[in-house]
């Protein structure tokens, strides 16, 4: 079963953040709350992590994974961002958006979409996740915690532990969070294209 860490949602305890980061660095798969819903995530360099998340989510290799980053400069390390894209990112991060962008050579090919060479990127607006990213000093490879057959993502640690605790190494409990996935916007085609409507407003992209 997964280790359960109860961490304060607004003032995360540094000792527990370090403990969570140690599990992730060691190859652990974590479930943690974000500003939208719970996510699955782990170390970017862990090849086995992808298969574990795909198994839980019931998705194939065409599924877009997301890099959770601390800020725009970190996004620019892992994705090709032109001036127009940068302005949109700057105006809408941090927040409940995932942006599809072309990946750079800093990323392992296995985490990119096999044909498009794209990946989702976002800067979450949640103290727990930002503290964890700061401790890790690198992005988290992640995916919304949506189980096959469910219509909404999971949103509380107790349910996650009951349903998939045996498949995880860590569950972070900050109390219930939202149950709506991020809004996903594809920025690779010149104009923003809506991939999934979620928690983030469509207004900034003219997609209402």
Annotate 132-158 with DSSP letters as a single string: HHHHHTSPEEEEE---TT-SS----HH
**Residue 152 covered by a domain:** yes
pTM surpassing 0.75?
Answer: yes
**Residue 205 covered by a domain:** no
pLDDT of residue 29 exceeding 90, the answer is yes
Each residue of 138-168: pLDDT tens digit? 999 999 999 999 999 999 999 999 999 999 9
**Residue 115 covered by a domain:** yes
DSSP 115: T
Indicate which CATH number applies to the domain containing 22: 3.90.870.10
pLDDT of residue 184 exceeding 80, the answer is yes
Each residue of 97-106: pLDDT tens digit? 999 999 999 9
The domain total for the chain is 1
For 91, counting Cβ atoms within 10 Å of its Cβ (0-12 exposed, 13-18 middle, 19+ buried), the class is exposed
pLDDT at 190: 83
- Per DSSP, the three-state class of 194 is strand
**Residue 207 covered by a domain:** no
Neighbouring CB atoms inside 10 A of 189's CB total 8
Domain that holds residue 27: 3-199
pLDDT at 175: 87
pLDDT at 1: 82
pLDDT at 185: 96
Alpha helices in 10-156 (DSSP H): 14-25, 47-57, 72-78, 83-92, 127-136
């Amino acid at each position: 079963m997964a280790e359960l860490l109860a961490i304060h949602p607004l003032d995360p305890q540094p000792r527990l953040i370090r403990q969570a980061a140690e599990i992730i660095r060691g190859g652990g798969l974590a479930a943690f709350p974000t500003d939208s819903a719970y996510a699955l995530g782990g170390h970017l360099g862990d090849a086995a992590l992808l298969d574990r998340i795909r198994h839980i989510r019931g998705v194939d290799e065409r599924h877009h994974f997301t890099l959770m980053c601390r800020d725009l400069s970190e996004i620019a390390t892992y994705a090709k961002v032109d001036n127009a894209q940068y302005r949109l990112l700057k105006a809408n991060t941090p927040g409940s958006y995932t942006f599809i962008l072309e990946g750079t050579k800093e990323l392992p090919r296995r985490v990119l979409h096999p044909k498009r060479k794209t990946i989702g990127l976002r800067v979450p607006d949640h103290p727990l996740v930002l503290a964890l990213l700061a401790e890790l000093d690198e992005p988290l490879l992640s995916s919304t915690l949506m189980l096959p057959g469910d219509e909404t993502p999971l949103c509380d640690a107790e349910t996650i532990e009951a349903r998939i605790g045996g498949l995880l190494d860590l569950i972070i409990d900050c109390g219930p969070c939202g149950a709506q996935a991020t809004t996903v916007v594809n920025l690779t085609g010149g104009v923003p294209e809506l991939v999934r409507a979620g928690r983030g407003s469509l207004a900034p992209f003219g997609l209402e």
